Amino acid sequence: MSTVIPVPDNWKSLFSSWDELRHGYHAGDKDETVRGCARRLDATAPGSGSEGDPVLFWTLGLLMLAPYVAFGNPGPGVEDEVVAVLSRVARGDDGRTCAHGWHPYEVDVDDVLELLPDCLEVLSSPVNQALDDLLPEDLLPEAHLDELGDEDAEPANLSGPEILARWQCPRTAPGFARAALDYLGATVG
């Protein structure tokens, strides 16, 4: 049974650990948690030879960990390792275009971080679930949908399945990698 986006079997425990670290109460080795996510992303990123694995999942993990990397005083080399792998992923779309006028990485990063626990629950669900019941607020912060105001603008006029297609777009992981780099005050290298 496939899922909407590829995730590792232990994604919930990983996510819980990342969320703890983001909120400042992670009891484990913080730097190793960040490095572990960076290594997994590096192993699945474009050009790694095992592309197509959960690149988006690991990119979202580093996005979640970016506040710690930016403000939590990580050890030597941690930020450099994170920036290097995020830069590689950010370059992964090679200027590709798609038919989508909007992507989830265009939402405010802090809003995305708050929504990620619920969003990943939806994104990691089996594909054969009833997508007709999928609501836009299942996949985007409701505040973002409200801010748009214009019902004709994307994503305000999109259905849940249409927003899901934007999450699955090959440009989404590179976009979130750029958002994480922006959070870190770094540029695509």
| Residue closest to 17 by CA, chosen among 6, 3, 2, 31 | 31
pLDDT class for 135, splitting at 50, 70, 90? Answer: low
pLDDT class for 132, splitting at 50, 70, 90? Answer: low
**Mind listing the pLDDT tens digit for each residue in 106-115?**
888 888 888 8
Average pLDDT of the segment spanning 62-69: 94
Q: What pLDDT, on a 0 to 100 scale, did the predictor assign at position 62?
A: 95
Q: What pLDDT, on a 0 to 100 scale, did the predictor assign at position 152?
A: 47
Q: What pLDDT, on a 0 to 100 scale, did the predictor assign at position 2?
A: 44
| Residue closest to 123 by CA, chosen among 104, 145, 99 | 104
Q: Which two tokens stand for residue 23?
A: 């909120």
Q: Give one DSSP letter per residue of 25-91, joined into a string.
A: ---S-HHHHHHHHHHHHHHHSTTSS-TTSSHHHHHHHHHHHHHHHHHS---TTHHHHHHHHHHHHHG
**Mind listing the pLDDT tens digit for each residue in 156-169?**
667 777 777 888 88
